[in-house]
Amino acid sequence: MRASRCAIGILAVLILGVPALAQQSWFSETLVRSREAQQAFQYIDQNQDRQLEEWIRITGIPAPSGQELQRALYMESEMKQAGLDEVFRDKAGNVVGRLYGTGAGPVVVFAAHMDTVHPAGTPVKVRQEGDTLYAPGVFDNSASCSNLLQAIRAIRHSGARLQGSLVFVATVQEEVGLKGMRAFLEENRGKVGLLVAMDGGLGSVSYGALGIHWIRFLYSAEGAHTNNSRGKPNPNRAVARAILDISRLPVPGPESESSAICNIGMIGGGKVFNAMSQESFFTVDLRSTDPGLLKDLDAQITLLAETAARTENVGFRKEVVSENPAGGTESQLAERRRHPIVQTGVDVLNYLLKDSYPGIKVGAVASGSTDGNVGVEMGIPTIAVGRTFGRDQHTLQESAEIKPLFLATKQIILLAFALGRLEPGWP
């Protein structure tokens, strides 16, 4: 009897699930019912055609990393027209717009990067097929630029009074090491209360940072004509040896909480058939959310790369191209997860998804690869949220769905009201 009661108990737990730890959230449906939220939503619904048109226009303004000026000028002029209290371009080239609060709330920063990975000259004309747009950069991150501008207009239109100040930043050079965001946060050290990065597909809310190390290993030797090459040091052999050794290195996979991934993306060296290479290289893209593992693997890879040079008797050089720090694993970030900004992000998105996409329920992930990483690194409560559904970002086939864009814009509005603390007095 006792045993069977116990079995029923276990069964009940299996069916009902173990109750998740309740996380504090600043979202509530009362907020959605407020007059301000309803007016802002109405603005989004009634201006979908214009928003779509603007999204296409933004995508059509080329903005390779470091060459964002044209797009920045557009963002700046639209932010000014939307009636923010202050709009300017900072030293790094970011466009910054502020909407002052009544003073009692936090400074909440919303950031969308303007740059694309596509080099100058890439055709950026948008093609529409049904509910999908196709063009390089249409998803990453023109969609967020569109969301940013339209959310600003809707918030202004709603007449909302917030206790906190909202700062909208269209950043530069996200794709080449989060440079614009870093410059902005360093210039505003201690002044940012909460940070929302607008990037990535709609889905999980990120509150961590994937650490990324980009390394180039270079091997050199005197070189020689093929006829005189017998027995001479050969940088290409060192490259081959190093790559084979590195590929045998055990790297913990996603089954482990502390996982990593390593890719050798580029390899090169030598100029002609009939001579030895004088300089050869390969690159490593090493990623992990665990700072300890990242450092450890970097050291092991460097040792193997260096040993290959010694074995082959060639010159060796390690070039650190960029190092974006890791935020921590899920357990290392347990404290961050408890900050209400994370659950607020999850609740807002699930609330909006539940009608149009009842099958989708999102959660929070202790990773991230956006401007938000800099916030995580600096200890600012940070989340990254998506812009619409889409595919094939960073390729010429990049595409994005139109309808979920409007949902993502509403997401930004609710986040602004929840994090910036809409003044009581609703509805």
What's the closest the beta carbon of residue 176 comes to Zn ion, in angstroms? Answer: 11
Q: Does 377 bind Zn ion (CB under 5 A)?
A: no
Shortest gap between Cβ of 120 and Zn ion (angstroms)?
18
Which of 140, 298, 377, 401 touches Zn ion by CB under 5 A?
140
Decide whether 199 or 377 has the Cβ nearer to Zn ion.
199
- DSSP letter (8 states) at residue 307: H
Report angle CA 279, 285, 289 to the nearest 5 degrees.
155
Only one of the segments 98-106, 141-149, 153-161, 413-421 lies at the binding site for Zn ion (rule: CB under 5 A); that segment is 141-149
Helices (H), 248-339: 291-312, 334-338
Q: Which is nearer to Zn ion, 143 or 415 (CB)?
A: 143
Which is it for strands 211-220 and 390-391: parallel, antiparallel or unpaired?
unpaired
Question: Does 312 engage in binding with Zn ion (CB under 5 A)?
Answer: no
Q: Looking at 52-60, 139-147, 153-161, 266-274, which segment touches Zn ion (CB under 5 A)?
A: 139-147
Residue whose CB is less far from Zn ion, 235 or 372: 372
Cβ at position 274, least distance to Zn ion in Å: 44
Q: Tell me which amino acid residue 327 is.
A: G
Q: Using an 8 Å Cβ cutoff, are 218 and 279 in contact?
A: yes
Rounded least distance, CB 24 to Zn ion, Å = 29
The minimum distance between CB 140 and Zn ion, in angstroms, equals: 4
User: 96 and 154 in contact (C-beta within 8 Å)?
Assistant: no
Instruction: For the beta carbon of residue 85, count every other beta carbon within 10 angstroms.
Output: 11
CB-based contact 310:217 (threshold 8 Å): no
Please choose, out of 3-11, 137-145, 216-224, 395-403, the segment that lies near Zn ion by the rule CB under 5 A.
137-145
How far does the chain reach from its first CA to its final CA, in angstroms? 56
Near Zn ion in 208-267, by CB under 5 A? none
Residue 141 within binding range of Zn ion, rule CB under 5 A: yes
Cβ proximity to Zn ion: between 168 and 316 the closer is: 168
Write down the least CB distance from residue 119 to Zn ion, Å: 16
State which residue, 180 or 269, has the beta carbon closest to Zn ion. Answer: 180
Phi, psi of 206 (to 5 degrees): -90, 140
Please report how close the Cβ of residue 177 comes to Zn ion at its closest, in angstroms. Answer: 13
> In this structure, what token pair is assigned to residue 189?
């050290």
Side by side, which strands form the sheet with 132-134? 127-129, 132-134, 399-401, 390-391
Q: For residues 316 and 309, is the Cβ–Cβ distance under 8 A? A: yes
Q: Out of 36, 68, 78, 199, which residue is the one contacting Zn ion (CB under 5 A)?
A: 199
Q: How many CA atoms lie within 13 A of 151 on its CB side?
A: 30
Binding mask 73-92 for Zn ion (x = CB under 5 A): --------------------
CB of 141 to Zn ion, least distance (A): 4
Site string for Zn ion, 86-125 (x = CB under 5 A): ----------------------------------------
Q: What residue ranges in 10-123 does DSSP mark as E strands?
A: 86-89, 95-99, 107-113
* Part of the chain binding Zn ion (CB under 5 A), chosen from 37-45, 83-91, 132-140, 327-335: 132-140
Q: How many residues belong to the site for Zn ion (CB under 5 A)?
A: 3
H-assigned helices in 129-172: 143-158
Which residue has tokens 């939503």?
41
Distance (Å, whole) CA 146 – CA 59: 9
Of residues 140 and 377, the one with the C-beta less far from Zn ion: 140
- Residue 122 Cβ, how far from Zn ion at the closest point, in Å? 16
Evaluate whether 266 touches 284 at the Cβ level (below 8 Å): no
Residue 13: what residue type? V
Looking at the Cβ atoms of 32 and 138, the one nearer to Zn ion is: 138
Please report, as ranges, the residues that interact with Zn ion according to CB under 5 A.
Answer: 140-141, 199
